[in-house]
Structure 1
Amino acid sequence: MDSQNTFDIFIVATPGLEDMLLAEVTEKGFANPVASPGGITVQGGWPEVWRANLQLRGASRVLTRIGSFMAFHLAQLDKRARKFPWGDVLRADVPLRVQVTTKASKIYHAGAATQRIETALRESLGVTISPEAALVLKVRIDDNVVTISLDTSGDALHKRGHKEAVGKAPMRENLAYLMLRQAGYTGTETVVDPMCGSGTFVIEAAEIAMGLNPGRSRHFAFEDLASFDAAQWGAMRDTPTTSTPLRFYGSDRDAGAVRMSRMNAERAGVADAVTFENHAAGELSPPDGPPGLVMVNPPYGGRIGNKKLLYPLYGTLGQTLLTRFKGWRVGLVTSEPPLAKATGLTWKPQGPAIAHGGMKVWLYQTPPLR
Structure 2
Amino acid sequence: MDEREDFDIYVVTTPGLESALCAEMTAAGFTDPQPGKGGVSARGGWTEVWRANLELRGATRVLVRIGSFRALHLAQLDKRARRFRWADFLRPDVPVKVEASCTKSRIYHAGAAAERITRALSEELGAPIADDAEIVIKARIDDDLCTFSIDTSGESLHKRGHKEAVNKAPMRETMAALFLHQCGYDGHEPVVDPMCGSGTFVIEAAEIAAGLKPGRSRSFAFEKLAGFDATAWDALKASLALTPPTVRFHGSDRDAGAVKMSQDNAARAGVADWTDFRRQAISDLTPPDGPPGLVIVNPPYGGRIGDTKQLYALYGSLGKVLRERFHGWRVGIITNEPALAKVTDLSFLPTGAPVLHGGIKVILYRTAPLA
The TM tier, using the shorter chain, reads over 0.9
Q: Give the CA deviation at 1:109.
A: 1.7
Residue 21 of structure 1 pairs with residue 21 of structure 2? yes
State the match for 1:167 in structure 2. 167
Structure 2 counterparts to residues 191-230 of structure 1, below 5 A? 191-230=191-230
Q: Give the secondary-structure state (helix, strand or coil) at the position aligned to 2:303.
A: helix
Q: Contact 2:203 / 2:271 at 8 angstroms: preserved in 1?
A: yes
1:259 CA drift (Å): 0.3
CA contact (8 A) 1:101 1:141 kept: yes
Tell me the equivalent position of 1:63: 63
| Other-structure match for 1:89 | 89
Alpha-carbon distance in 2 for matches of 1:21, 1:154: 19
* Number of aligned residues: 370
Note the C-alpha offset of 1:105: 1.4
- Matches for 1:1-370 after TM superposition, within 5 Å: 2-238=2-238, 239-370=240-371
Q: CA deviation at 1:73?
A: 1.4
CA contact (8 A) 1:3 1:227 kept: no
Q: Distance in 2 between matches of 1:30 and 1:304?
A: 38
> What is the deviation of 1:160?
0.7
Q: Shift of residue 323 of structure 1?
A: 1.0
**Which range is displaced more, 198-207 or 294-303?**
294-303
Deviations 1:27-82 (A, max 9, x none): 11111212112111111111111000000001111000011111111111111111
Q: What is the TM-score with the length of structure 2 in the denominator?
A: 0.98
Cα deviation, 1:129-169, whole Å, max 9, x if unaligned, reads: 11121221100111111100011111111111111111111
Shift of 1:24: 0.6
Query: Counterparts of 2:107 and 2:320 in 1: how far apart (Å)?
Result: 61
Identity within the alignment, %? 63
Q: Where in structure 1 are there 5+ consecutive unaligned residues? A: none
Displacement of 1:296 after TM fit?
0.5
User: 1:251 is paired with a residue of what secondary structure?
Assistant: strand
Shift in Å, 1:267: 0.4
Contact 2:311 2:340 in 1 (8 A): yes
Structure 1 residue 250: Cα displacement: 0.2
Q: Please tell me the residue identity of whatever aligns with 2:348.
A: W
Q: Distance in 2 between matches of 1:277 and 1:91?
A: 49
Corresponding residue SS for 1:93: coil
TM-score (norm 1): 0.98
**Given that residues 301 and 307 in structure 2 are in contact (C-alpha distance below 8 angstroms), is that contact kept between their aligned partners in structure 1?**
no
Asked if 2 retains the 8 angstrom alpha-carbon contact of 1:91 and 1:224, the reply is yes
Q: What letter matches 1:199 in structure 2?
A: G
Q: Secondary structure at the match of 2:147?
A: strand
Q: Displacement of 1:199 after TM fit? A: 0.3
- The answer to whether the Cα contact below 8 Å between 1:193 and 1:202 also exists between their aligned partners in 2 is yes
- Aligned equivalents of 1:251, 1:157: Cα separation in 2: 26
Deviation at 1:337, TM superposition (A): 0.8
State the secondary structure of the residue aligned to 1:209. helix
Equivalent-residue separation in structure 1 for 2:92 and 2:250 (angstroms): 49
Q: Note if contact 1:176-1:200 (Cα within 8 Å) is conserved in structure 2.
A: yes
* Two-structure CA RMSD over aligned residues (Å): 1.0
Deviations 1:226-265 (A, max 9, x none): 1311111111112221111110000000000000000000
Query: 27-36 vs 210-219, which deviates more?
Result: 27-36
Name the CA distance, whole Å, in 2 between partners of 1:33 and 1:227. Answer: 27
Q: Could you tell me how far apart the structure 1 residues matched to 2:7 and 2:352 are?
A: 34
- Structure 1 residue 108: deviation in Å? 1.5
Please give the alpha-carbon distance, in whole angstroms, between the structure 2 residues aligned to 1:116 and 1:307: 50
Give the conservation status (yes or no) of the 8 Å contact 1:46–1:227: no
The secondary structure found in structure 2 opposite 1:301 is coil
Is residue 70–residue 144 contact of structure 1 (8 Å, CA) maintained in 2? yes
Tell me the CA shift for residue 357 of structure 1: 0.8
Contact 1:195–1:250 (Cα < 8 Å) also in 2? yes
Measured in 2, the distance between the counterparts of 1:284 and 1:298 equals: 15
Aligned partner letter, 1:333: I
Matches of 2:75 and 2:2, distance apart in 1: 29
Amino acid in structure 2 at the alignment position of 1:228: F
Return the offset for 1:281. Answer: 1.2
- 1:190-219 C-alpha deviation (Å, 9 max, x unpaired): 000000000000000000000010000001
Q: For each residue in 1:153-190, what CA deviation from the matched residue of structure 2 results, as whole angstroms up to 9, or x when unmatched?
A: 11111111111111111000010011001011011100
Aligned AA (1:313): L
One-letter amino acid of the counterpart of residue 126, structure 1: G
Q: Find runs of 4+ consecutive structure 1 residues off by over 4 angstroms.
A: none
